[in-house]
Structure 1
């Protein structure tokens, strides 16, 4: 990892090499038990015309992107963890799954056209970013959106990234907050909310 700042997820998996496999099996077990693990994806699908282009940023083992692909969208998933990408390829064939650092996101250089109708960043991904890379990640999201595209980010409180700080970082990255919810099923966001789902568009 020389020359770049590792994410907190990379530091976690370096300290515990079994963590990624545990994470994959956790969601496979939940799915096998019939748990609802695609609530985020249903919200995203409702925002899109059929056949839209979606970037699943920090896609993990592919539960969100896999659902959206099956719903008829063109999906690209990016995650820094090769174990999670391997699981996504195995469990959810169809999307383009890529190992990559969101802080260095440049999909056209990897043969993938930018201009996404939605970028979704679920699963507390932004709280696993190295703090020094947060601005670069958000700016990369803005660059990869289509002109009328939207970014949707969801994460919990008390994870080292204050909601107010995140919203300010997003504004500086050229993003406009269009809506804020406290859950992926669109309950209102208040000052007491312990989770944020924020929907952004590109600034004019």
Structure 2
């Protein structure tokens, strides 16, 4: 079972969406991830939102002109995404079993983005498999971006993956580290408890 399911029971979709809607109404910037991605690849690029949740990042990227596909295991989150953007391609799938061809999707994404603590919330022991499957969905030269917490202050669950472990999984999947930041605003990484990592296939 994924740590996410243990945490939420996979019934959190509406609450999660409401939290970000309230942040947006208060004037907070809720599109940092999409802006970060848009600085990496040009409009029109194919983007896979891995662990897309309620679709906040993917819907914004679509508005900016990107060709996006969203995948998530949590039906409650996907229900919100489909309600907000019924014309976009949303797929319910376990990332550890993700195979684009089985869903009728070409495995030639320019960018894979895994925002929202995807890796620390996976089922224990599946991290390397998920990295491998996401890397395989990229075209040669494509980028994978993942942002996640590394300590208790930045996670809703106990820390379960280190940056060195993540880099090792990426290397084994044929990915090379390009850059690393402390936030989705591209602040330099200083060894803190949250990191946004960019790898290239």
Length-normalised TM-score, structure 1: 0.89
Shift of 1:195: 1.1
How large is the Cα RMSD of the aligned pairs? 1.5
- Asked if the contact 2:112–2:138 (Cα under 8 Å) also holds between the matched residues in 1, the reply is yes
Q: Distance in 1 between matches of 2:104 and 2:164?
A: 35
The equivalent of 1:200 in structure 2 is: 199
Residue 185 (structure 1) aligns with: 185
Question: Equivalent of 1:24, from 4, 17, 28?
Answer: 17
Q: 3-state SS of the aligned residue for 2:42?
A: coil
Distance 2:65 2:26 in 1: 25
Q: Secondary structure at the match of 2:190?
A: coil
Runs (4+) off by over 4 Å = none
CA–CA distance in structure 2, aligned partners of residues 22 and 85 of structure 1: 13
Contact 2:132 2:169 in 1 (8 A): no
Displacement after TM superposition at 1:174 (Å) = 1.7
Find 2:59's aligned residue among 45, 66, 71: 66
C-alpha distance after superposition, 1:112-149 (max 9, x if no partner): 11110000001111110112110110000110001121
C-alpha displacement of 1:18: 4.5
Q: Please report how far the alpha carbon of residue 22 of structure 1 lies from its aligned counterpart in structure 2 after TM superposition.
A: 1.9
Between the aligned partners of 1:80 and 1:105, the Cα distance in structure 2 is 10
- 2:8 aligns with 13
- Structure 1, gaps ≥5 residues long: 1-5
1:10 CA displacement: 1.7
Alignment of 1:109-120 (within 5 A): 109-120=102-113
Alpha-carbon distance in structure 1 between the residues aligned to 2:171 and 2:187: 23
Moved more, 166-175 or 117-126: 166-175
CA distance in 2, matches of 1:35, 1:117: 29
Q: Tell me how far apart the structure 2 counterparts of residues 46 and 20 of structure 1 sit (CA, whole Å).
A: 28
Corresponding residue number in structure 2 for 1:49? 42
1:163 match: 163
Shift of 1:80: 0.6
Q: Which residue, 145, 158, 169 being the options, matches 1:152?
A: 145
Give the number of equivalent residue pairs: 194
